[in-house]
């Protein structure tokens, strides 16, 4: 990236709220039902059908706003945002335009040891559109498309950040932090793969030192946080090349293509005017009392930033560890439950970030669904601590616990993994290894310390990793001197 330009990034995140029913009608929001099985005259936009606001959706939106340090507006209102698309039966989306529910929030991110606040301009409530199902792979290669309105009318919040991010890396950190906060509150399950969390990005470049914004480009089709980062990196380079050549940046919406790793032009960007926003005459203004706000505030859980501080302070975890462990609430809870049984936080964090994360990634499971419980992990670590098994053996025991959920002690017995700490037995093996490796013995006696490591390795090999390494070291030194 050229040093001549500063990158300016803003993000718009859409999160579906986890209500049981839709924003303006009683239809279920359950995922995976038969097409159009969860619709009614209201969410199908039939003439004369009147919307009634879902209180729980407002409640969740307030909770998200408070968790993101916003000012909750006592007065907000709903507006119609007009556009024509087959998945939108009313030809307008019910949203909030000039009076959103939440304003002026912030999210604190940590990138490369630097802490930074990213402003949140606003959070507003709106309804989801339906879903077009194309007969072919995509709209262009299809003979026809079908409409499924089950999703239409599900409540969403749109979280609009300030243009405060200066690199794709910061954008990635903002998204992961935001997702984690939303998941902690439980207002959204934030599943990008099911579409309950989506993100659009705005990016522009300007000469370093300039305070005016450059022309921004909006990026769409960003299906993962990594895709957001990669698309922004690509776009940063593309815009810098244009500016270097003295060519203008066109204000437009660009589509990210994951397979080619490039963005391409979709359409020139609409202005707010194009949507012909006006207040929805079917809905009264939304008035939120201070008591309601305080009631929601009182039930906010401990949020990631506070947990991060506490994990560093209370458990003495390095910031790097704390950041990874608190990424999800389930993980943070698992950590605390394990430490309560096995009081060595750093060791617990090492095992969680290392072996356990590896097993979870390979199997595609989440920590809350896997067979390793805090009790079983604590038991396993105690077995290492009291010398029953070596660290190496512990890894294979953990694999077995992960696969079967069996007690680690039972696994150690069944597989004969207990460490050999019997001096007499080990002395014999040590003697045999010394006899079989005269060259290494010679090296060791000539002062090459490395040779000892080799001999220890040979004893471990003979015992299939079960020898107590500390004891092997001692015995070798004794016999060699």
Residue with smaller CB distance to Zn ion, 22 or 307: 22
Decide if residue 337 touches Zn ion (CB under 5 A).
no
Residue with smaller CB distance to Zn ion, 43 or 70: 43
Decide if residue 27 touches Zn ion (CB under 5 A).
yes
455 closest CA partner among 475, 481, 476: 476
Residue with smaller CB distance to Zn ion, 65 or 130: 130
CB contact at 8 A, 156 and 125: yes
Decide if residue 40 touches Zn ion (CB under 5 A).
yes
453 closest CA partner among 445, 442, 444: 444
Helices (H) and strands (E) in the chain, counts: 16, 16
CB contact at 8 A, 82 and 272: no
Q: Which stretch binds Zn ion (CB under 5 A): 40-48, 254-262, 374-382, 392-400?
A: 40-48
Q: Which stretch binds Zn ion (CB under 5 A): 26-34, 50-58, 389-397, 421-429?
A: 26-34
**Half-sphere exposure (Cβ direction) of 312: Cα atoms closer than 13 Å:** 11
180 closest CA partner among 278, 1, 305: 305
Q: CB neighbours (10 Å) of residue 146?
A: 13
Taking the complex as a whole, the smallest distance from the CB of residue 58 to Zn ion amounts, in Å, to 18
Helix axes 374-385 and 391-404, enclosed angle (nearest 10): 160
Q: In the set 25, 62, 66, 154, which binds Zn ion (CB under 5 A)?
A: 25
Residue with smaller CB distance to Zn ion, 39 or 468: 39
Decide if residue 411 touches Zn ion (CB under 5 A).
no
Taking the complex as a whole, the smallest distance from the CB of residue 49 to Zn ion amounts, in Å, to 9
Residue with smaller CB distance to Zn ion, 43 or 57: 43
230: CB partners within 8 A, 6+ apart: 168, 256, 261
Q: Find the binding residues for Zn ion in span 223-282 (CB under 5 A).
A: none
Q: Find the binding residues for Zn ion in span 59-78 (CB under 5 A).
A: none
Decide if residue 49 touches Zn ion (CB under 5 A).
no
**CA 23 distance to own-chain centroid:** 26
**Half-sphere exposure (Cβ direction) of 150: Cα atoms closer than 13 Å:** 15
Decide if residue 43 touches Zn ion (CB under 5 A).
yes
Site string for Zn ion, 181-210 (x = CB under 5 A): ------------------------------
Taking the complex as a whole, the smallest distance from the CB of residue 42 to Zn ion amounts, in Å, to 5
Taking the complex as a whole, the smallest distance from the CB of residue 26 to Zn ion amounts, in Å, to 7
Q: Which two tokens stand for residue 97?
A: 């335009």
Pairing state between β 92-95 and 131-134: unpaired
Positions in the binding site for Zn ion (CB under 5 A): 25, 27, 40, 42-43
């Amino acid at each position: 990236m050229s040093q001549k330009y500063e990158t300016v990034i803003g993000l718009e995140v859409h999160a579906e709220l986890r209500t049981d029913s839709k924003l303006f009608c009683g239809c279920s929001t359950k995922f995976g039902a038969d097409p159009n099985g969860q619709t009614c005259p209201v969410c199908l936009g039939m003439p004369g059908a009147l919307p009634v606001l879902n209180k729980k959706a407002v409640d969740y939106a307030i909770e998200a706003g408070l968790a993101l340090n916003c000012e909750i507006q006592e007065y907000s209102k709903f507006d119609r945002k007009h556009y024509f698309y087959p998945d939108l039966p009313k030809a307008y989306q019910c949203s909030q335009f000039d009076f959103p529910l939440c304003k002026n929030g912030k999210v604190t991110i940590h990138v490369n040891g630097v802490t930074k606040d990213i402003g949140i301009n606003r959070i507003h409530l709106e309804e989801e559109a339906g879903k077009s199902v194309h007969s072919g792979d995509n709209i262009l290669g299809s003979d026809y498309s079908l409409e499924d309105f089950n999703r239409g009318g599900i409540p969403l919040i749109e979280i609009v950040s300030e243009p405060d991010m200066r690199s794709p890396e910061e954008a990635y950190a903002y998204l992961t932090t935001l997702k984690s906060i939303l998941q902690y509150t439980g207002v959204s399950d934030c599943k990008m793969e099911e579409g309950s969390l989506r993100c659009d990005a705005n990016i522009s470049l300007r000469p370093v030192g300039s305070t005016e914004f450059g022309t921004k480009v909006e990026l769409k089709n960003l299906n993962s946080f990594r895709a957001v980062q990669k698309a922004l990196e690509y776009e940063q380079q593309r815009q810098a090349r244009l500016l270097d050549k003295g060519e203008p940046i066109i204000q437009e919406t660009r589509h990210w293509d994951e397979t080619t790793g490039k963005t391409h032009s979709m359409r020139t960007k609409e202005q707010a005017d194009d949507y012909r926003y006006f207040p929805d005459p079917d809905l009264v203004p939304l008035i939120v009392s201070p008591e309601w706000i305080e009631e929601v505030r009182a039930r906010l859980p401990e949020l990631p930033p506070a947990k991060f501080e506490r994990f560093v302070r209370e458990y003495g975890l390095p910031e790097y560890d704390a950041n990874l462990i608190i990424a999800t609430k389930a993980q943070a809870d698992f950590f605390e439950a394990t430490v309560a049984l096995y009081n060595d936080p750093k060791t617990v964090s090492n095992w969680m970030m290392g072996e356990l994360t590896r097993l979870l990634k390979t199997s595609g499971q989440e920590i809350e669904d896997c067979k390793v419980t805090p009790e079983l992990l604590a038991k396993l670590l105690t077995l290492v601590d009291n010398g029953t098994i070596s660290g190496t053996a512990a890894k294979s025991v953990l694999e077995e616990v992960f696969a079967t959920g069996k007690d680690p002690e039972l696994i150690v017995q069944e597989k004969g993994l207990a460490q050999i700490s019997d001096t007499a037995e080990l002395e014999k093996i040590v003697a045999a290894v010394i006899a079989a490796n005269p060259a290494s013995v010679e090296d060791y006696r000539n002062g090459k310390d490395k040779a000892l490591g080799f001999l220890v390795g040979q004893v471990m090999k003979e015992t299939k990793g079960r020898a107590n390494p500390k004891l092997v070291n001692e015995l070798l030194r004794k016999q060699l001197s």
